[in-house]
């Protein structure tokens, strides 16, 4: 990625590749926080407009953490907190060939319970868990974006699992 060597993000190609690379993760991040996907869409737009206005001051290598910081600030400024309710879609895994209806039903029930439990997680745990699972981000990268240590991310992940494991007992 040679745009990483540019001084700023004022070039349209640089700006667009940054958008293609980070916009979706940014939307997901705000959605995990707020549970409001439409709000997240708006804030992504706003964060990128801000970056365009300040394009001379932003280095491509710093763009990702710049965007996450801006989006986070925008979120803190605008939103009034409501109970988060996340709605997911599932990617069907095609690894197993034939599944019994019984198995599929159980799987579906488990997924629904897991979704509810994720929504009920404390915000900091939920964000770490979902950034890792959905956005497939490494713990180190999550740590960088949230401005915490990798160790702290691993701890949050373990706390999240501890909370989520309770649903097993009820299935």
Interface residues toward other proteins, by CB under 8 A:
16, 19-20, 23-24, 27-28, 31, 37, 41-46, 48-49, 52-53, 74, 78-80, 88-93, 107, 110-111, 114-115, 118, 129-130, 133-134, 136, 139, 154-155, 157-159, 161-162, 164-165, 168
User: Smaller CB distance to other proteins: residue 145 or 153?
Assistant: 153
* 3-class DSSP assignment, residue 134: coil
Cα separation, 131 vs 133, whole angstroms: 6
Question: Measured from the CB of residue 28, what is the shortest distance to other proteins in angstroms?
Answer: 6
Question: Measured from the CB of residue 120, what is the shortest distance to other proteins in angstroms?
Answer: 14
User: Smaller CB distance to other proteins: residue 35 or 60?
Assistant: 35
User: Smaller CB distance to other proteins: residue 5 or 68?
Assistant: 68
Tokens found for residue 61: 């290598």
């Amino acid at each position: 990625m040679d745009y990483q060597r540019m001084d700023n993000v004022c070039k349209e190609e640089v700006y667009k590749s940054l958008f293609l690379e980070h916009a979706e993760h940014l939307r997901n991040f705000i959605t995990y926080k707020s549970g409001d996907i439409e709000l997240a869409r708006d804030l992504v737009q706003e964060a990128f407009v801000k970056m365009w206005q300040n394009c001379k001051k932003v280095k491509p290598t710093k763009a990702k953490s710049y965007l996450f910081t801006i989006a986070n600030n925008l979120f803190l400024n605008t939103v009034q907190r409501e109970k988060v309710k996340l709605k997911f879609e599932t990617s069907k895994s095609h690894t197993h060939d034939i599944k019994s209806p019984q198995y599929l039903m159980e799987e579906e029930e488990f997924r629904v319970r897991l979704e509810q439990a994720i929504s009920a997680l404390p915000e900091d745990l939920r964000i770490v868990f979902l950034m890792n699972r959905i956005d497939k981000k490494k713990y180190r990268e999550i740590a960088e974006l949230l401005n915490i240590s990798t160790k702290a991310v691993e701890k949050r992940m373990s706390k999240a699992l501890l909370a989520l494991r309770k649903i097993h007992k009820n299935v």
